[in-house]
Amino acid sequence: MVPTRQTPARGSRRARFAQWFGAALGALFATGCAETQSALDPHGPAADAIARIGWIMFAGAAVVAGVVFYLLLRPVLHAWRRPQPAAVVVEEGSTRLIVWGSVLTTAVLIALFSGTMLTLASIAAPYAAGTLELEVIGHQWWWEVRYRHPDTGRTVTTANEIHIPVGRAVRVAVRSDDVNHSFWVPRLHGKIDMLPGRTNRIVLEAAEPGLYPGACSEFCGLQHANMRLLVIAEPPEEFTRWLDWQAGPALPPTDALTRQGQQVFIQAGCVFCHTFRTAPGPSPAPGGAIAPDLTHIGSRRTLGAGMIPNTPRHLQDWIADAPARKPGIRMPAMDLDGPSLQALAAYLEGLR
């Protein structure tokens, strides 16, 4: 009797492969669940359309991949089932199977392409006159945001935060003051390029109040990963109050500490870079501001374009040595003693 070599059952091998493959696939999908910047969690009409076509394309790609892999693996699996090697035989119907597989995949690709074009046309549709407009200018590495007040015509400038009214389309003109950037708020819309010398436009609309993180999505230098922004969607009446407040100057200092801080702000030369509507200083350059407008910095949620929370302690650390927090930025470290630093931080925190 000739001894035979024991081999594991095909079923057990397939089961182990399926387990490992399923675990790897689950881990891959789990890596996309940690952040709030998800295009698959839409909160606006444009984002809804983009997410819908995204899921459709995923399903279509899965169908095409399934057909292609079946056509590739079918002869391998067929040969695997044979107990003995056999000569290559062209099976009846193989040509028909290949033809129909090609037709199916081509039809799916044409359908996906058509759906994508229709989606792009729908989110690029023009909006009626009277739509709220604002301008966002990209800098290395922060965002300048300009509104035009609908009643006074006054330009309202802020930085790194965009306020919009819920349920109302807002037309955003975007451009860059230095290098190429890309404006992206995934839960409200797709990406749009920000280019020097060219203005592009995008429409943001939020279906419900909330905070919608965004970021620059095109590499723009050393601190690209720390060029973030926050879109704040609020009820229309709250937005109107916010815009009216932002249009006015910051409140003057009211005590000895903040008055000292105002003097430090002027004497340290901060006014030569930061636009400020209660202290003397140069106007922004025609292409954009040198540094963020600080008129109402105390009311903002973050510092450093979304890097750190806007708290007194973080503000003092930022003023003392911003390049240590964000290497490559233009702001130098400030050589201030402890009392002067505390006074300056208190003054800026009071600018609400």
Give the pLDDT confidence of 195-204 residue by residue, as tens digits: 999 999 999 9
Is residue 198 located within the same domain as residue 283? no
Read off the amino acid at residue 217: S
Are 274 and 315 part of one and the same domain?
yes
13 falls within a domain: no
| Number of domain units in the chain | 3
Cβ-Cβ contacts under 8 Å for 182 (sequence gap 6 or more): 191, 192, 193, 194, 216, 217, 218
Together in a domain, 241 and 143? yes
Claim to verify: residue 210 and residue 227 sit in the same structural domain: yes
Is residue 218 one of the residues assigned to a domain? Answer: yes
User: How does pLDDT run across 337-352, given as a tens digit for each residue?
Assistant: 888 999 999 999 988 8
Flag whether 16 is in a domain.
no
pLDDT tens digits, one per residue of 88-147: 555 555 677 778 878 887 888 888 888 888 888 877 766 666 678 899 999 999 999 999
Q: What is the mean pLDDT of residues 162-173?
A: 93
- Measured CA to CA, the distance from residue 194 to residue 178 in angstroms comes to 10
Give DSSP secondary structure letters for 283-316.
PPBTTB-SB---TTGGG-SEETTTTEE--HHHHH
Whether the CB-CB separation of 143 and 215 falls below 8 Å is answered with no
Predicted pLDDT of residue 6: 47
Indicate if 100 and 193 belong to the same structural domain. Answer: no
**Is position 9 within any domain?**
no
- Residues 222-266 have pLDDT tens digits of 999 999 999 999 999 999 999 999 988 888 888 899 899 988 988
Does residue 172 sit in the same domain as residue 113? no
**pLDDT average, residue stretch 327-335:** 90
Whether residue 212 is contained in a domain is answered as yes
The parent domain of residue 324 ranges over 256-349
Q: Are residues 155 and 118 in the same domain?
A: no
More confident: 175 or 272: 175
Position 121 in a domain:
yes
Residue 175's pLDDT is 95
Residues 326 and 260 in one domain: yes
**Within-domain flag for 21:** no
A 10 A CB-CB count for 203 gives: 20
Give pTM, 2 decimals. 0.77
pLDDT of residue 288: 45
Average pLDDT over residues 189-217: 93
Vertex 252 angle, CA 350 and 154, to 5°: 95
Percentages helix, strand, coil for the chain, rounded to the nearest 5? 40, 20, 40
- The predicted model gives 272-279 an average pLDDT of 74
Residue 173, pLDDT score: 94
Q: Is 281 a residue whose pLDDT tops 50?
A: no
What type of residue is 106?
A: T
pLDDT of 287 above 80:
no
Identify the domain boundary among 195, 228, 246: 246
Q: Choose the weakest-confidence range: 79-83, 220-224, 261-265, 295-299.
A: 79-83
Q: Residue 6 domain-assigned?
A: no
What is the domain-level CATH number for residue 166? 2.60.40.420
Domain end residue (candidates: 209, 228, 246): 246
pLDDT in tens, 21-67: 666 666 555 555 545 677 778 888 888 888 888 898 888 888 888 88
Last residue of a domain, one of 246, 277, 301: 246
Are 137 and 225 in a shared domain?
yes
The verdict on 288 and 315 lying in the same domain is: yes
Virtual torsion, Cα 273, 278, 284, 289, nearest 10 deg: 60
Do 108 and 177 sit in the same domain of this protein?
no
**Which of the pair, 10 or 291, is modelled with greater confidence?**
291
Residues 206 and 234 in one domain: yes
Tell me how far apart the alpha carbons of residues 298 and 311 are, in angstroms, rounded to a whole number. 9
Token duo for residue 89: 């035989």
* Statement: residue 186 has pLDDT above 70: yes
Higher pLDDT, 322 or 2: 322
Would you mind telling me the total number of residues written for the chain in this entry? 352
Closest CA to 182 of 135, 134, 233, 224: 224
